[in-house]
Amino acid sequence: MSHKVVDEYTAGTGEGAPASDERQLDMRKVVYRETHSSRAAVSVVAAALVMGLAGYGLLESAVHAIGQPAWLIEPQLAAERIVALPAGVPPLLLGAGGAVIAMAGLFFLLNAVLPGRRARHVLNGGDSPTAVVVDDEVIASALARSARLAANVTPEQVMVVVSQRQVIVNVRPTSGVPVTEQAVLAAVEEELRAMAPEPLPEVRVNISTAGVIGA
């Protein structure tokens, strides 16, 4: 669990500090980098695969052009086998190969179209010159404490899951000790408003029907 304080961005120049709107723009860029995962690794993998396949195809074509035996398979023979699919290929092998290719394609597609947000929220960001970027685990820990105090239970009886748009609070009450859902909800929402994460998640409280025997 950790949090980061993103301080004000300043560029020392002979003409003084940047304008306020420029500082805000720089701050938004810094916060975006802290809350979104980089696609550099996936891009490198995709580029390496494309370059490898293109290089292999060029090598096989060059070897074929000078009349030497192919390293793995003749380009013309490979094209004929691809056109003839699924003839000559066991159904199990064909299905496994198709599944692997589909999963790889889905992986790259999702990385391209999804926002790639990290499990983090920005606290007290906005137009302030500073912003606090906090892991969702830290927020969940604070909310679990508020829920535990409101429900009068032990830490092991509360589990909080924080996502980008929703907070789910699961409470297992102590047998014989009633727990009011509205009280837990109010306590968690108050703590959440005090932290002011962006965006502000919606809170949902689940009270278990199976109680825990008190010590």
Query: Tens of pLDDT along 169-182?
Result: 999 988 888 888 89
Domain check: are 98 and 54 in the same one?
yes
Domain check: are 99 and 128 in the same one?
no
Interatomic CA distance for residues 53 and 59, integer angstroms: 10
Structural domain span for residue 45:
40-113
Residue 10 placed within a domain: no
CATH of the domain at 200: 3.30.70
Residue 6 placed within a domain: no
Interatomic CA distance for residues 39 and 109, integer angstroms: 12
Q: What are the strands, taking DSSP E only, across the chain?
A: 3-6, 120-123, 131-135, 158-162, 166-171, 197-198, 202-207
End-of-domain residue from the set 78, 113, 148:
113
| Total domain count, the chain | 2
Domain check: are 101 and 131 in the same one?
no
pLDDT value at position 75? 73
Domain check: are 107 and 83 in the same one?
yes
Does residue 128 surpass a pLDDT of 60?
no
Q: Are 46 and 108 in contact (CB under 8 A)?
A: yes
Task: State the pTM of this model.
Answer: 0.56
pLDDT per position as a tens digit, 107-125: 888 777 776 677 777 876 5
pLDDT band at 62 (very low <50, low <70, confident <90, very high): confident
Residue 108 placed within a domain: yes
Residue 87 placed within a domain: yes
Domain check: are 102 and 162 in the same one?
no
pLDDT band at 12 (very low <50, low <70, confident <90, very high): very low
- Enter the tokens of residue 160: 């909080």
Residue 86 placed within a domain: yes
Interatomic CA distance for residues 78 and 81, integer angstroms: 5
Domain check: are 128 and 109 in the same one?
no
Which residues is 4 bridged to in the sheet?
133
Does residue 15 surpass a pLDDT of 50?
no
Residue bearing the bigger pLDDT, 188 or 132: 188
Domain check: are 197 and 145 in the same one?
yes
Which residues is 206 bridged to in the sheet?
170
pLDDT value at position 7? 42
End-of-domain residue from the set 64, 84, 113:
113
Q: Are 189 and 203 in contact (CB under 8 A)?
A: yes
Residue 45 placed within a domain: yes
Domain check: are 100 and 152 in the same one?
no
Domain check: are 135 and 101 in the same one?
no
- Enter the tokens of residue 155: 């830490």
End-of-domain residue from the set 51, 79, 113:
113
Domain check: are 171 and 193 in the same one?
yes
Domain check: are 75 and 135 in the same one?
no
pLDDT value at position 160? 93
Q: Which residues are CB-neighbours of 149 under 8 A, at least 6 positions away?
A: 187
Q: How far is CA 75 from CA 38, 84, 201, in A?
A: 37, 14, 55
